[in-house]
A and B are shown apart, each in its own frame.
Chain A
């Protein structure tokens, strides 16, 4: 099937056992990681907001997530009267399963030898590799969409329409920045992407894709992934002030827990994928000890750093408005990713082509930007703005004594 050395020879019971063990370990590790991630996020946010955060269950509140999970398990499972029962029950799984599957392609470590088998430390290394991530993120749109629609209530529907529009629009930018990585690697397989990033320029700078591609695709992917995850500052889908709870409003008990589980699982998977694509995956110096342990440690450190970044962003940035979100996605990220992809492609041909193309795109972008500003100043304004202008001006508040 693929390039996985495990499947090259005769497929025996041993190989099947190894695959099953890999799946089980990945599943368990992901669950524990989600538990720790929720605790980590709550603790960190409360530190940043000068609070204490969960501190009752277990040491430093570590078991808080477990307690919450058990509580949710035993709560009453409600299905609204107007709900479409089939879709309502299906939706949480449509969100959860892609979140689990997407993690399988992430290489968490190097290659080890067990009982004469060569085993890659990742659940699967399919030839389509990174495309599986895009496929899974496009499937999880269904879960969000159906959850909102099937609730038979208006706020969830609004939330789900927002969410799916957001996910669909940011997928394009995400795909284009992945294309830049694939272009420079020459393969879709995540293992190949990671191995191509080993080594260093001048023995100092790691040969990671973030440096090889210029930082732009990394930034675009980071923003697009945040939007894809519906995490702050792109969490319009569950904007409490406007939409009650977004598409999860009507959910309760374990179904609600499944939504939150998959949301945090997606955050972890996305961080791991960013590490794989741009930060060299398990690549890092070996500082002594058994050789298989360091790649795993480096992978965990990098993923943890990205997760810290996500929490930090949540604490620091205010939520975007819907039109700002769409403007950012369609007018900045997609053209930017496309232009950068073409520059990278031209660089593959020759450096001069690449530089010329870069200058051309920079000039074109500057002209376009200026044109938009001039258009805004002189031309007709958009409908929304004209309507706002026509509203009667608010009466000035006069001081009492006047």
Chain B
């Protein structure tokens, strides 16, 4: 019994991997909107990211899968969690009163439009279902080199533009987060000293 099942799984690895990964993605996405606790939502988002990485591997795009995990799961959601934990909004959210009145109908409409778009694209030549352009086995011209060649030749300008954008974002963040030492802060400092003195 078991060997035949195993062999069936080997014969159709793509289908089974896809089903498992798709379940992870959808389950995670559902968890993001369904959990009341923001930290649990962030964790569900990680599950979704993982599912997408598995889908990438199933399509032979191993490098993208690694980057997906390192960048999205490993850096971006970690930052989300940092913000959630440090701002102390990690308690249950109060529902009922929404700041944007039209948020829910608009979200539903956007969801329907996105779904229609995906269905439309799936019928055209954009979604080929073919695996990633991978060199033959043993050839050194693999996934990573292929992507590198594309990024540094065809898509050089967008690549550099993105880099500039990120630098600008970092500079802006540093500027906004920088605390300027003013007379006010000096006063606070002296107050602190007084407090210490009183303590003694």
B140/A186 in contact, CB under 8 A: yes
B82/A164 in contact, CB under 8 A: yes
Q: When A161-B86, A392-B193 are in contact, do A142 and B69 touch as well, CB less than 8 Å?
A: no
Interface size class of chain B, counting residues whose CB lies under 8 Å from the partner chain: 35 or more
- A25 within 8 Å of B (CB atoms): no
Residues of B70-86 contacting chain A, CB below 8 A: 70, 73-75, 78, 81-82, 85-86
B66/A128 in contact, CB under 8 A: yes
Q: When A87-B43, A188-B144, A383-B179 are in contact, do A134 and B70 touch as well, CB less than 8 Å?
A: yes
State which of B10, B62, B196 has its C-beta within 8 Å of the C-beta of A11. Answer: B10
Interface of A, helix, strand, loop or mixed by DSSP: helix
Stretch of B96-104, B118-126, B152-160, B184-192 with 4 or more beta carbons under 8 angstroms from chain A: B184-192
A128/B73 in contact, CB under 8 A: no
Interface size class of chain A, counting residues whose CB lies under 8 Å from the partner chain: 35 or more
Smallest Cβ distance from A197 to chain B, in angstroms?
17
- B24 within 8 Å of A (CB atoms): no
Q: Which chain A residues have a beta carbon within 8 Å of chain B's beta carbons?
A: 1, 3, 8, 11, 13, 16, 84, 86-87, 90, 126-128, 131-132, 134-135, 138-139, 141-142, 145-146, 149, 157, 161, 164, 168, 171, 186-188, 380, 383, 386-387, 390-392
Q: Which residues of A contact B65 (CB under 8 A)?
A: 128
- A135–B54 CA distance with the chains assembled, in angstroms: 13
A86/B73 in contact, CB under 8 A: no
Q: Which residues of A contact B142 (CB under 8 A)?
A: 127, 187
Q: Which residues of A contact B67 (CB under 8 A)?
A: 131
State which of B66, B85, B192 has its C-beta within 8 Å of the C-beta of A149. Answer: B85
Q: When A13-B3, A84-B39, A387-B192 are in contact, do A138 and B86 touch as well, CB less than 8 Å?
A: no
Report the number of A-B residue pairs with Cβ-Cβ less than 8 Å.
Answer: 93
**Residue of B65, B66, B192 with most chain A CB atoms under a 10 A cut-off:** B66
Q: When A127-B143, A128-B66, A135-B70 are in contact, do A145 and B137 touch as well, CB less than 8 Å?
A: no
Interface of B, helix, strand, loop or mixed by DSSP: helix
- B46 within 8 Å of A (CB atoms): yes
B75/A128 in contact, CB under 8 A: no
Residues of B99-137 contacting chain A, CB below 8 A: 137
B78/A126 in contact, CB under 8 A: no
Smallest Cβ distance from B138 to chain A, in angstroms?
6
- A1–B143 CA distance with the chains assembled, in angstroms: 12
Q: Which residues of B contact A391 (CB under 8 A)?
A: 193, 196
Q: Nearest chain-A residue to B139 (Cβ)?
A: A3
14 A-B pairs (CB sep. < 8 Å): A1-B60, A84-B39, A128-B62, A131-B67, A134-B66, A138-B69, A141-B78, A149-B81, A161-B82, A187-B140, A188-B144, A387-B192, A390-B193, A391-B196
Q: When A3-B137, A128-B66, A135-B66 are in contact, do A141 and B6 touch as well, CB less than 8 Å?
A: no
